Amino acid sequence: MKGKFISFEGIDGCGKTTQIKFLEEYLLKQGYNILVLREPGGTKVGEKVRDILLDKNNFISPVTEMLLYASSRAQLVEEKILPAIEEGKIVLLDRFVDSSYVYQGYARGLGIEKVKVVNEIATMGILPDVTIYIDITPEEAMKRRGKREADRLERESWDFHKKVREGYIKLVKEFPKRFVFIDGMQELMKVHKDIIDVVKKYL
């Protein structure tokens, strides 16, 4: 039996990582075989790319940023995601191609089509069975981040983070069969319950 591929999206600080951990614990208790991955990263090559992308001291042009994300993604798909799905595992991925659509395509202004062409090659055309978008406001994201040191992307302007959120909401509306909108402003365990209710439908 083939596995499942579930991705999580949202602006920085929306709670993706926490909710993935909760979901992993829940699914393990149900007896499922789980692989949790993150983008950029998830492989030896990808983690090196991650260090470059998130280093606050680096200036990275929008095109370079798009290509670096795509290179990390290509390695992740071939080395980890496809083999895990073939082995019947459930892959939980913290960000995937939709992050590039909204961060580089929309917020950076490169255009969705350009990002799509590059990522068709990087992903070999695979898409998640379901993408869970956790929605919060940039104001809430900043509050949650608190005094933790921000990485290069988290340090972007207020307007940039607003554009990222707008981009996600457009994607949710454009691809309603794949995306599920989750209200991330709710209490933590209510968000977790909503996610479980969604995931059950795909298992």
Binding residues for ATP: 10-17
Strand partners, 181: 133
Binding site as annotated, residues: 10-17
* Edge-to-edge strand ranges of the sheet holding 4-9: 34-38, 90-94, 4-9, 130-135, 179-183
